[in-house]
Chain A
């Protein structure tokens, strides 16, 4: 049931449900994006957090003081666990931000800083 395929990053496998007894998954177009500079594949329009998880990435940020790893938790934009730096913008709720081709997604260290060259 697990499709193992595709380019590396994370666990090196793409962890997707192939066949499901009840559901049919309609996925967007396959696109490339970058996680900490590493090229990965995802589906356009799915949340960034899901695309990362499918690539085996579990750690999305590190806390300011204790450097504790943080990942996915509520998936509805309410908990702040999955904040990352996306195209230079910190504290992006990756669980409800759609993936776009070429996106630069980075692990967030600490609380993030105001991006350069932005209002």
Chain B
């Protein structure tokens, strides 16, 4: 078993797979509001991402065990799937935020809850800090205490930044 497979077997995404495919780059770079990046590479009986999607961008499942398949041209970056996915496997990334920064809309179910303007640590898929980001907004799309934290961070971490850690507490 190679190291990449071992890493994947422990829950770390390594490269693209069925159910975990990046949006087409050109579309992604031009789409205001961002598009969804789904990381759900295993057949499990679960479909809230598709049933919560208001535009059909996450295509309706034929079988409840299907891995998500996305038509990114239909995605508006609304984050309903981010807030609905039981596996916290949906992320919206907006590459149009600024020249150097992308806006990451990530699910968050921990404490403390950051506030707008807070600096947070950007974590990769194994929890290492890879950059610092700024909280631009916090929403609670389903009013069920799964928050979606909007963080601006360098475009260099687009393929790695998937979780935040709140380091400095606001006064």
* A and B, direct touch (CB closer than 8 Å): yes
B19 to chain A, nearest CB (A): 26
Task: Count residues of chain A with CB under 8 A from any CB of chain B.
Answer: 5
* C-alpha gap A20/B109 in the complex (Å): 10
Which of A1-25 touch B at CB < 8 Å?
A: 1, 19-22
Interface residue ranges of B100-150 to A (CB < 8 Å): 109-111, 113, 145
Bound complex: CA A22 to CA B145 (Å): 6
Please give, as numbers and ranges, the residues of chain B lying within 8 Å of A19 by CB-CB distance. Answer: 111
A19 to chain B, nearest CB (A): 6
Q: How long is the Cα–Cα vector from A31 to B111 in the complex, in angstroms?
A: 29
C-alpha spacing A19/B109, complex, angstroms: 13
CA of A69 to CA of B35, assembled, Å: 56
Per-position 1/0 for B10-28, Cβ under 8 A of A: 0000000000000000000
Give min CB distance, B116 to chain A, whole Å.
Answer: 18
Q: Write the chain B residue with the least CB distance to A20.
A: B111
CB within 8 Å of B: which residues of A?
1, 19-22
A-B contact pairs, 8 of them (CB 8 A): A19-B111, A20-B111, A21-B109, A21-B110, A21-B111, A21-B113, A22-B109, A22-B145
